[in-house]
Amino acid sequence: MFSGKTEELIRLLHRSQISGKKILVIKPKIDTRTNSEIASRKRSEITKGDFKKFMDLPATPVEMAAELDQLIADDKPDILALDEAQFFGDWIVAYITKLMSNQSDMMILVAGLDMDAWGKPFGSMPQLLAMADNVQKETAVCFVCKAPATMTQKLSRSETTVEVGDSNIYEARCRFCYKQPSEL
Ligand SMILES: [Zn+2]
């Protein structure tokens, strides 16, 4: 969420664009923050809730494998980038496995949250992390004590995990300041 994952993805993609690579960016349909672009929100001020769009790139919402098949056939990208990958369904693991075994030189970049607000592995991220040639972890700043933050703190007790990226619902915490949602 606030750890710069999307900024890092966008930075890598901009560099690749400059070198003339064709890029396809996808995001899960469930991510409702923006319609057709990946957008990262960065705290522009200390005031909580004051986020602004930092940088963006066009991104196509994808719900199932057949849609991605079509996009790849149409675009023939050199680089496939996934944002908010924790919200793709289980199908994404088999799909990426298939792409990786196709002997193509398509580069695949995945950005996502590794743990949910309960501190548990998030969606298909554990499998995707295990399959990756390289893993880069970004840390946020703890909203409470300003230490490096690796946890996502839910600010209410609601049971759902699919509210995405809203600063009123989640904030970054270090392990020391983090509380399980049930303890709120
Ligand atoms: Zn802290």
Q: Is the pLDDT of residue 34 over 70?
A: no
pTM for this predicted structure: 0.80
Q: How confident is the model at residue 63 (pLDDT cuts 50, 70, 90)?
A: very high
* Ligand 1 centroid to residue 162 C-alpha, Å: 24
* Average pLDDT of the chain, as a whole number: 83
Mean pLDDT of the 97-112 span: 91
Distant-in-sequence, close-in-space partners of 120: CB < 8 Å, separation ≥ 6: none
Which residue is catalytic, options 84, 138, 159, 183? 84
C-alpha distances (whole Å) from 114 to each of 22, 37, 87 are 27, 22, 11
Q: Give the pair of three-digit tokens for residue 21.
A: 């690579």
Mean pLDDT of the 20-47 span: 64
Q: How confident is the model at residue 51 (pLDDT cuts 50, 70, 90)?
A: very low
Mean pLDDT of the 23-32 span: 83
Note whether 64 and 92 are within 8 A (CB). no
**Superfamily of structural domain 5-137:** P-loop containing nucleotide triphosphate hydrolases (3.40.50.300)
Q: How far apart are CA 87 and CA 122, in angstroms?
A: 8
* Ligand 1 centroid to residue 151 C-alpha, Å: 10
* Catalytic residue flag (residue 84): yes
Q: Is the pLDDT of residue 53 over 50?
A: no
